[in-house]
Structure 1
Amino acid sequence: MNKAEIKEKLSDFFHIAFEKELIDDIAEVGVFKKIKENELLIDINDKFDKIPLLINGAIKISREDKHGEEIVLYFLERGDTCTVSFGSCLGTMKSQVRGIAEKDSEVIFIPVNKLEEWMVKYKTWRTFIFDSYNIRINEMFEAIDTLAFMKMEDRIFKYLTDKVKIMRNTELNITHQDIASDLHTSRVVVSRLLKHLENEGKIKLHRNKIDILDF
C-alpha cells in the first residue's frame, strides 16, 4: 500500500482526532499490514520496534501465567493502539501480553522513534497516547473487578456481550472451549452455565456458534 492509500485510510477515521500534518507524517513513515483472523500481532517476551495503530478489525490482548494458562484482559478496536507495548518499544521491558487478531484486521506500524518525537510536536498525538493509556488501565481494572467480584455466569455473559460489540455481530462463531480458555475456567463449567443462559432466553446455542439475544 502506497503513502496516498495509507493517508486515505487514516483520514477516514482520524481526520477529527489528528491534524492534517500528523496524518501526513504517519502516512510518510507508516507501514501498512493486513493481519488475518487468529494471526499473532505481538507475543509475550517480544520486543517491539514499531507502534501498532489499528485501522480496522479487532485484537484480543491476553496475559499468561507461569503455567501457560491465558486470561483475556481487553480488546483493541478500530482507532486503538496497544499502549502496553510502549515499554517494549522503548527498550525498557519485554511484552507481558499476547495480541491475536479476533478477525481480519488492518494495522499501520509506526517507527518507535516517532513516539516521543510526536509527543512533543503534536498535541493531538500526546492526547491520543495519554487517552489510550487511561482507557487500557481502566479496562484492566475492569478485568480485575470482573475476576474478583462477578459470578462465573455473569462473567461469561459479559464476555459474550463484549465480543458482540467488538465483532459488531450478535452471531458469534465460538466454541465452549474458546470461552473456557479466555476466561481461565473449564469447558464443563462453561457448557453448564451457557445452557443456563439459554434457558433464561439470553442466548441461543448452536454447534460452534452462539446467538446473543439479550443485548
Structure 2
Amino acid sequence: MHILIIEDEEQLCRSVAEGLRIDGYETDICFDGDEGLCLCMTENYDLILLDLNLPGTDGLEILRQFREHNTNTPVLILSARDQIEDKVNGLDLGANDYLTKPFHFQELEARIRSLTRRKFVQEDVCLKWNQLTFDTRTREASVNGVPLSLTRKESSLLEYFLLHQNRVISPEEMIEHIWDGSVNTFSNSIRVHISSLRKKLKAAIGFDPIQNKIGQGYILEEYR
C-alpha cells in the first residue's frame, strides 16, 4: 500500500512515515500544501493522510480540489482542529475519516487498516488463499498455521496479490502501490523481490502459486 502524508510538522510527519514503513506501507511525505496538492493530482496513492493547517494551500482546499479530480482514494484528516465545524467541513468535502491530534499511533494504524480494507472491499483482517493466510494487522503470513518468514517488501507484495486474486498485476501497478517511487519499470528490484517471494511460497506450499504472464505482469490465480 502506498500512502501520502501531507503534514507540516516535520518531526511528526517523519515519525508517522517511519512507523507505517515498519508496518509494511510505502510512504511519501511533504510538508506544505502546494507540494501536497501537486502530488495528489499527479501520483496514484492508496490513502492520503492530510493535515489542515498547512503553509501554502490549506488542507481543506487540497481536499476540495482533490475530490473534483478523484472521488475514490480514501482521505484521512489529521488535525489539531477539534471543533465540530472543522470535522463537519472536512467530512462534507469528502474526507473518509478525521483523527484529532494528538493521537495514539495504534489508533492511526487501526483507522488506516479500516480504510484500506474498505477500499478493496475486504472486510476480514486475515486474507486467505487456500492454505495460505496473511494477517493484515500483525503483518504475519502462514501456511497451514506454520509461520512464513517474509521480508517487509515480500509481505507487501503478498498482501497485494491476495487483495487482487485472479487478476494480472503489471510492474507499473506494483511500483505505484508497493514501492515509494525510488524504482522504475526497468529496475531489477521488482523481479528480485517477486522471485524471492515465489521461492518461499513454493517451499512452503509445494508449488508456485504466482504465475508470470509474459509482457503483462504477475497473477495469483484462484486455487483449483
TM over 0.5: no
Q: TM-score range by the shorter chain?
A: 0.3 to 0.5
More strand by share: 1
Q: If the length of structure 1 is used for normalisation, what is the TM-score?
A: 0.35
Q: Taking CA–CA contacts closer than 8 Å with sequence separation of 6 or more, which of the two structures ends up with the larger relative contact order?
A: 1
**Taking structure 2 as the reference length, what is the TM-score of the superposition?**
0.34
The structure carrying a bigger helix percent of its residues is 1
